[in-house]
Amino acid sequence: MDYKISVQELENTPTKTANINFEEKIDGINCAEPITADLEVTSLGDFVEVKGRVKGKVKLECDLCLKEFDYDLDFDIDEMFAKNSLMENYSQETEIKEGQFVEDLQGNDEIDIYDLLYQSVILNLPNKKVCGINCNGDKFQKEENLTDPRMDVFKNIQIQPKDK
């Protein structure tokens, strides 16, 4: 199935809005279940906004014990695309406010929802992948915490015995 949105066609609809119900495994991501997304694509003059909720289950490898585990995805996306190269002097992706990026379509008529979802899933994976609280590898994590420089303060605390 094709998940490309034509900006021109979007402009020609009375509401300037398109709804996409995505349900598919995404190439390049180890999906345990298809990724689902209910997205609303709206033309806002110079920009196109893609908003919605993404859910799914992916297989990740635990950083500590290297076992594969299922990770539930559930996040919102809110992406802006600039139709024309408004921002010639900036890089292709510009942050307009904290956490919100505008991607420049650079005259391209198409927004590739499949690619957008791929990027969003990758960005929403945890930095530290741990299979669970009972992970066999958790001793490594504890050792790591002890070498955290912020923990040094505790090593220097000495309890003074009270003189009688």
Interface residues with Zn ion (CB under 5 A)? 62, 64-65, 131, 135, 137
H-state helical runs in 4-133: 7-12, 113-123
CB 7 within 8 A of CB 17: no
Residue whose CB is less far from Zn ion, 13 or 136: 136
Of 108, 106, 110, 103, nearest to 85 by C-alpha is 106
* Shortest distance, position 136 Cβ to Zn ion, whole Å: 6
* Shortest distance, position 139 Cβ to Zn ion, whole Å: 11
Residue whose CB is less far from Zn ion, 13 or 132: 132
Residue whose CB is less far from Zn ion, 68 or 93: 68
Q: How far is CA 3 from the centre of its chain?
A: 19
* Shortest distance, position 62 Cβ to Zn ion, whole Å: 3
CB under 8 Å, gap of 24 or more: what pairs does 11-18 form? 11/43, 16/42, 16/43, 17/41, 17/42, 17/43
Three-state DSSP at 98 gives coil
* Shortest distance, position 55 Cβ to Zn ion, whole Å: 23
Residue whose CB is less far from Zn ion, 55 or 57: 57
